Amino acid sequence: MKISPKKIPSIVKNIWFRLIENNFEAYLVGGCVRDLTLNLKPKDWDITTNAQPEEIQKIFPNSFYENRFFTVGVKTKSDDSALKVIEITTFRLEGKYSDFRHPDEVKFAQTLKEDLKRRDFTINALALNKNFEVIDYFDGLNDLKKRLIKTVGNPEERFREDPLRMIRAIRLACQLDFEIEKKTFETIKELANFIQLIAKERVKDELIKILLSSEAVKGIELLRESNLLLELIPELIRCYNVGQNKHHKYDVYTHLLKSFEYAVKKNYSLEVRLAALFHDIGKPLTKSGEGPDCTFYNHEIVGAKMTRQILQRLRFSKKIIDKVVHLVKNHMFYLEIDKVTMSAVRRLVHRLGLENLEDFFKLREADRIGSGVQKAVPYRLRYLKYLIHKSQIKPITPQELKINGNDVMEKLNIPSGPKVGWFLKILLNEVIDDPQKNNREYLIKRLLELNQLSDEELKLLSQKGEEKIREIEKNIDLELKSKFRI
């Protein structure tokens, strides 16, 4: 199989062929060859070579050496994140990882074949030679055609060497929408507890890729079926088959997965996806009674605590944790819309945070669709959104003017009293019609003109202005109502 050279950016080709011109063997390798074969855009470009790290560095002065893995990163001038650094790795053998984090020693290999043999999956053990032909020692092309993730060599050995490969298998199955080959998958099931040996940060990075992929639901199910979920998020497994009351069609686990499915389908953020997946995770612990009338009091409070524990254990960033916990904790927010006051609405907005409202409504929607009951956005929810928007509208008052009552009294030399208010209201009306007029110089000049009018005239003008302001506010409200179909 040949790959069109046009598919490879010249930055990559230049670096690759500089090695060849210097009489070294060099190949594109791994994920980028897999993606080229599948006609996908590679996320990064890796080169493997028989040149030693010092030799590579001599050819590329603008490079840095990652000692542990014999990898030299060549910095380029590209802004494309996939091309900023091209990694060149000397042929190497599988290292022995007694702590499962850092190889005890990494040995160089002599040949490309040896290097490909230590790679995780057959579809990742492909290389591209200088004639743009795919080199395939482990039947990777055939597995690409069959859309299969399969370890190079014996799965048990390969997963024992590096248990992170188990979750990588699931991550790739999600990103590529592939199946995991049967024996490979059976072995993950058997060795799932080995994942505990891996640094949580590395596990988290793979997990995030699973959660953000379009096949994320399949990912969660694969994690569950492979026993990895039991190792990583046992709290979710405890929701499995936990029955709910009459307001729900599904058990807790299925409901969480369906909510998550909606968040994935709508391409919501990582935080909203996590909140959808965890929002009812406190239910098994708070369940009281059985059957159609069982209850789950305070499940959102318990669930928020559990969510924090889970995400901390998995080493998510504080920013992500705080956001997801906040969403889970308040996902039941509720207002009795027929009795509610505007100040109660404002208190709610304050509690949820204006900047989070959008995400709360996304979560609410995922929760509702995930319950499998009703489809359309219900009137109550639309009314709540309307109230929240309404509570954020600032009333039109003379405070918006660039002058105030003191200025009026001072400039016109009049005492405080209703007349001061009349002036301000008249000016406010002029400013609403033409915001340019809202500057001190103009307003003071205009004030002196208005001062020529009689009290009767001023009072009348001010009343007209007041009516106009009410009219504008009414229209804003009508617009909001029609926006939310109230």
Distance in Å, CB of 165 to ligand ATP, minimum = 5
Report the residue closest to Mg ion, judged by CB: 31
398: partner contacted, choices ligand ATP, Mg ion, none (Cβ within 5-8 A by kind)? none
Nearer to Mg ion, 209 or 299 (CB): 209
Write the binding mask 219 to 238 for ligand ATP: x where contact by CB under 6 A, - elsewhere.
--------------------
Which of the choices Mg ion, ligand ATP, none does residue 283 contact, using the CB cut-off of 5 to 8 A by kind? none
- Of all residues in this chain, which one has the CB nearest to ligand ATP in the complex? 31
State which of positions 79-138 bind ligand ATP (CB under 6 A). Answer: 119-120, 124
Stretch that binds ligand ATP, among 38-46, 285-293, 317-325, 456-464 (CB under 6 A): 38-46
Handedness of CA 270, 272, 273, 279 (dihedral sign): positive
216 binds, among ligand ATP, Mg ion, none (CB under 5 to 8 A by kind): none
Q: Identify which of residues 94 and 120 has a Cβ nearer to Mg ion in the complex.
A: 120
Query: Which one among 148, 164, 281, 328 touches ligand ATP, defined by CB under 6 A?
Result: 164
Contacts with ligand ATP by CB under 6 A: the residue count is 11
- In the complex, the smallest distance separating the C-beta of residue 286 from ligand ATP, rounded to whole angstroms, is 39
Nearest to ligand ATP of 166, 325 (CB atom): 166
Stretch that binds ligand ATP, among 4-12, 161-169, 268-276, 348-356 (CB under 6 A): 161-169
Q: Does 43 bind ligand ATP (CB under 6 A)?
A: yes
Answer for which of 7, 22, 44, 52 binds Mg ion (CB under 5 A) is 44
Q: Which of residues 11-40 bind Mg ion (CB under 5 A)?
A: 31
Residues that bind ligand ATP in the complex, under the rule CB under 6 A: 30-31, 43-44, 46, 119-120, 124, 162, 164-165
Residues that bind Mg ion in the complex, under the rule CB under 5 A: 31, 44
